[in-house]
Amino acid sequence: MKKRQQLVVILGPTASGKTDLAIKLAKKFNGEIICADSRTIYKGMDIGTAKLLQNKKLKIKNTKYKLKIKNVKIQKPIIIKNIRHYMIDVVRPNQEFTVAQFKQKAVKIIKDIQKRGKVPFLVGGTGLYISAIVNNLKIPRVPPDKKLRQKLEKEIKTKGLKFVWRKLIKLDPEAKSFIQKDNPRRVIRALEVCLKTKKHFSALRQKGQPLCEILQIGLKIPRPLLYKRINQRVEKMIKMGLIKEVKKLAKQYSWQLPSMSGIGYREICRYLQGKISLTEAIEEIKKNTRHYSRRQMTWFKRDQRIIWLTNSPKTVFSKAKKLIQQFIVSEPSPF
């Protein structure tokens, strides 16, 4: 009998406890973790992306791991709490990294984990990354156009992001449902595809047949508690050296890079440029992170297949464990 190929997804807003839960579940079910986070892919961006909240010193342990995949370069896994993690530190902050690249690499890793008889856990809060895998999105392969991007970036700088957003929605009204209007990188990419292909970006992103059987577990947490956690996380990042990290990055990379526009980095950049005080920067990071968590939940709530669990330390692990046990032993879904 052919072995069933399964994937467990752990998702939710930032600071909801996804990583801690996923590590415990991976240990329980002989699993390995693929990170679905559009920020932890960058090397050298450790504190502001919360990598180091899990491990004070990330490093690759010596393993006999070998993953040979034709035409797809995959780095060795990073070991955190004795669990292999993939898709962390994939590119430098000045390198291009698209959703299509994420999907290509992540799918290969998932299949390799399954082939070795283990359970792959896709874990993160970047909705588009998760959707690319769960919905097997057919992502348009349109190479970046540097001149066009520079033009759009200049328009954002002079006329504002709303101006470029309106240009996108005029060309592709459906993009409003899945492109975040305050995310310049996503807006520019969607508009770039529309202009280069003369087609709607939304029409080019079609769902395909499921890659395997998938269980999606979402973590929700009462908003007051989530905001408290976010505030505490930001304070911890500052104490761990976020300012020093941004200073180091600023010596190597441009302030204008998409990677440097991430929450935590852009606010500290403004502080280092003398535009705001440190107190103001910290408060902006907290506020922008709270807003981001709401956008994450808005995205995830559209998917009715997600099973939501309230993240209480006493119950969430046992509930998630039961769901996964039932999923693993259940009858296969007819695709």
More confident residue, 42 or 140: 42
Give the per-residue pLDDT at 63.
Answer: 42
| CA-wise closest residue to 186 among 104, 93, 294, 97 | 97
Give the per-residue pLDDT at 71.
Answer: 53
Average pLDDT estimate for 227-250? 96
Give 59-96 pLDDT, tens digit per residue: 444 344 445 445 556 678 999 999 999 999 999 999 98
Give the per-residue pLDDT at 178.
Answer: 75
Percent residues over pLDDT 90 in the chain: 61
Percent residues over pLDDT 70 in the chain: 90
Average pLDDT estimate for 1-9? 80
Give the per-residue pLDDT at 208.
Answer: 86
- Give the confidence band of 174 by pLDDT, cuts at 50, 70, 90: confident
Q: For residue 217, give the 3-state DSSP assignment.
A: strand
pTM: predicted TM-score of the whole model, two decimal places? 0.86
Is residue 257's pLDDT more than 90? no
Give the per-residue pLDDT at 65.
Answer: 45
| CA-wise closest residue to 9 among 126, 149, 100 | 126
Is residue 1's pLDDT more than 80? no
- Give the confidence band of 249 by pLDDT, cuts at 50, 70, 90: very high
Question: Residue 59 class from Cβ within 10 Å (0-12 exposed, 13-18 middle, 19+ buried)?
Answer: exposed
Average pLDDT estimate for 247-254? 94
Lowest mean pLDDT among 2-6, 137-141, 322-326: 2-6
More confident residue, 98 or 26: 26
Give 180-226 pLDDT, tens digit per residue: 777 787 888 888 888 988 888 877 677 889 999 999 999 999 999 99
Where b means 16+ CB within 10 Å and e means fewer, 190-221 reads bbbbbbeeeebbbebbeeeeebbbbbbbbbbb
Residue that the structure tokens 């606010």 belong to: 267
Q: Could you give the domains of the chain?
A: 6-138+210-224+298-329 (3.40.50.300), 146-203 (1.10.20.140), 242-293 (1.10.287.890)
What's the chain's average pLDDT?
A: 88
Which residues fall within 8 angstroms of residue 163, CB to CB, at 6 or more apart? 155, 156
> First and final CA of the chain: distance in angstroms?
17
Give the per-residue pLDDT at 57.
Answer: 47
Give 98-133 pLDDT, tens digit per residue: 888 999 999 999 999 999 999 999 999 999 999 999
Which residues fall within 8 angstroms of residue 285, CB to CB, at 6 or more apart? 234, 237, 263, 264, 267, 268
Question: Residue 240 class from Cβ within 10 Å (0-12 exposed, 13-18 middle, 19+ buried)?
Answer: middle
Is residue 330's pLDDT more than 70? no
